[in-house]
């Protein structure tokens, strides 16, 4: 059966049916673009549109879908070649996507004062460039909005825009059981998730082989996976693998908690920054970081963790080069903390909550060195600096 046009879809949506099952692809006709540049309005509550494996193809036109209704569900459907500012917008409504694909769109979903759910969805080769006017490649979740993503795959999407990423969050977003793989950023600060002012919860996710390859802006710092600017982030049961470009996987400037995560061959706010050294006087640091039950495997010379705020660590395995505690307070909660083949470089305060009298080399079960308070080891300030006078900051860098 041949394809049908956007007018046909518009008429189906407003036909008073509670469920629509497509029997053909929906393709934008050449003479429909001006008619639907303001979008097909989704204003019917409790509507399900089952794509039945078919495609809605905007043919690189500026048309879009605008939802204002409650409980709108799309399932078994592919959205393709949308090129408007907000291809799919949800304003104060409830929008559900189940088993949907989003392919080669310029920007995708804009959630404004609404709720969206994405279950078993795939975002593939979507993009955002300098010529675009959208806010993110895949999802923009605005203030006072909620987004829930589960069992989904973000694969080979590209962002070439200074301040955004695949996902831009100012509201509340939960991402569970999902994969971010081979996504690419170019000439931008962040590739995958930019948590600007919102709350981000990530659980049981995998970030692998994502890249941020180049930036012409002096202020940009090339984070690959997660940039937390002024919000709250909780990462649990997740893996970051081979995300080693410039400053690495994660930068935290807000509140961040990491629980039972693994970092393999990844730099976490670690860098080749000015002659392979990160300079703390030129960077912003978040107020609080908590790391529990996590494993760090880092092959890079700069090390594993650097702290310039308030950092709490419990039950972690670290295999890297150095831990640097710079100017502030490091709390170590548990005796199970392991530091392997490393040095501890401290110019602030280290607090052992379980037993402050335990020597640092015993409590860390490894080779340790401390240059601050709460240590009975010999001070060695000369080792706090790298060859060019700046500290060798670590992979988890605040």
Whether residue 45 lies inside any domain: the answer is: no
pLDDT of residue 80: 96
pLDDT higher than threshold 50 for residue 379: no
Residue 363 in tokens = 């409590």
Whether residue 52 lies inside any domain: the answer is: no
Whether residue 204 lies inside any domain: the answer is: no
pLDDT of residue 47: 97
Q: How many domains does the chain have?
A: 1
pLDDT in tens, 197-206: 999 999 999 9
pLDDT of residue 230: 84
What is the residue-averaged pLDDT of the chain? Answer: 74
Which position has the higher pLDDT, 325 or 14? 14
Sign of the C-alpha dihedral computed for residues 323, 184, 204 and 150 taken in this order: positive
pLDDT of residue 398: 38
pLDDT in tens, 273-331: 222 233 332 233 455 566 666 666 554 444 456 555 666 666 666 655 445 555 556 66
pTM: 0.77
**Highest averaged pLDDT of the listed ranges 146-150, 246-250, 373-377:** 146-150
pLDDT higher than threshold 70 for residue 391: no
Which position has the higher pLDDT, 94 or 356? 94
What distance in Å separates the CA atoms of residue 171 and residue 150, rounded to the nearest whole number? 17
pLDDT of residue 175: 98
pLDDT in tens, 83-120: 887 899 999 999 999 999 999 999 899 999 999 999 99
Nearest to 324 by CA among 280, 287, 294: 280
pLDDT higher than threshold 80 for residue 146: yes
pLDDT of residue 18: 95
Whether residue 316 lies inside any domain: the answer is: yes
pLDDT higher than threshold 60 for residue 13: yes
Whether residue 315 lies inside any domain: the answer is: yes
Nearest to 108 by CA among 120, 119, 118: 118
**Are the C-beta atoms of residues 119 and 152 closer than 8 Å to each other?**
yes
CA atoms within 13 A on the CB side of 180: 31
Whether residue 237 lies inside any domain: the answer is: yes
pLDDT of residue 280: 32
Whether residue 336 lies inside any domain: the answer is: yes
Termini Cα distance of the chain: 58
Whether residue 126 lies inside any domain: the answer is: no
pLDDT higher than threshold 80 for residue 75: yes
User: Which range marks the domain in which residue 240 is found?
Assistant: 222-357
Count each helix (H run) and each strand (E run) in the chain, helices first.
3, 42
- Residues 362-371 have a mean pLDDT of 31
Query: Phi-psi category of 365—alpha, beta or left, where left has phi over 0 and alpha has psi -120 to 50?
Result: left
Rounded to 5 degrees, φ, ψ at 10 are: -60, -45
Which position has the higher pLDDT, 188 or 339? 188
**Are the C-beta atoms of residues 248 and 270 closer than 8 Å to each other?**
yes
- Of 29-33, 165-169, 219-223, 372-376, least confident by mean pLDDT is 372-376
Counted residue by residue, the chain has a size of: 398
Burial (CB < 10 A; 0-12, 13-18, 19+), residue 1, is exposed
Letter string b/e over residues 365-396, b meaning 16 or more CB atoms within 10 A of that residue's CB: ebebbbbbeebeeeeeeeebebeeebbbbbbb
pLDDT in tens, 153-198: 999 999 887 667 899 999 999 999 999 999 988 877 778 999 999 9
pLDDT higher than threshold 90 for residue 244: no
């Amino acid at each position: 059966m041949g394809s049908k046009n956007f007018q046909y879809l518009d008429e189906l949506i407003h036909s008073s049916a509670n469920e629509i099952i497509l029997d053909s692809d929906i393709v934008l006709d050449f003479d429909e673009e001006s008619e639907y540049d303001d979008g097909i309005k989704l204003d019917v509550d409790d509507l399900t549109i089952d794509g039945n494996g078919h495609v809605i193809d905007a043919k690189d036109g500026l048309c879009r879908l605008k939802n204002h209704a409650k409980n709108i569900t799309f399932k078994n459907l592919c959205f393709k070649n949308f090129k408007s500012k907000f291809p799919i917008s949800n304003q104060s409504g409830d929008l559900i996507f189940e088993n949907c694909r989003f392919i080669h769109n310029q920007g995708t979903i804009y959630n404004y004062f609404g709720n969206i759910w994405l279950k078993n969805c795939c975002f593939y080769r979507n993009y955002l460039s300098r010529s675009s006017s959208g806010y993110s490649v895949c999802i923009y979740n605005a203030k006072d909005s909620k987004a829930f993503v589960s069992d989904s795959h973000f694969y080979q999407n590209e962002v070439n825009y200074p301040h955004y990423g695949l996902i831009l969050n100012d509201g509340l977003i939960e991402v569970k059981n999902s994969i971010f793989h081979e996504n690419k950023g170019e000439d931008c600060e962040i590739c995958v998730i930019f948590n600007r002012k919102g709350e981000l919860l990530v659980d049981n996710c995998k970030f692998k082989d994502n890249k941020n390859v180049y930036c012409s802006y002096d202020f940009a710092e090339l984070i690959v996976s997660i940039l937390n600017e002024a919000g709250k982030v909780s990462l649990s049961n997740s893996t970051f693998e081979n995300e080693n470009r410039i400053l690495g996987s994660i930068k935290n400037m807000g509140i961040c908690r990491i629980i039972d995560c693994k970092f393999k061959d990844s730099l976490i706010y670690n860098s080749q920054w000015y002659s392979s050294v990160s300079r703390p006087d030129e960077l912003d640091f978040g107020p609080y970081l908590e790391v529990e039950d996590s494993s760090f495997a880092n092959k890079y010379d700069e090390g594993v963790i650097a702290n310039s705020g308030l950092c709490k660590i419990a039950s972690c395995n670290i295999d890297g080069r150095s831990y640097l505690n710079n100017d502030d307070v490091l709390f170590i909660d548990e005796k199970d903390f392991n530091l392997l083949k490393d040095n501890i470089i401290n110019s602030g305060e280290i607090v052992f909550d379980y037993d402050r009298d335990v020597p640092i080399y015993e409590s860390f079960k490894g080779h340790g060195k401390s240059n601050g308070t709460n240590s009975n080891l010999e001070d060695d300030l000369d080792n706090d600096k790298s060859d060019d006078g700046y500290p060798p900051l670590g992979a988890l860098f605040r």
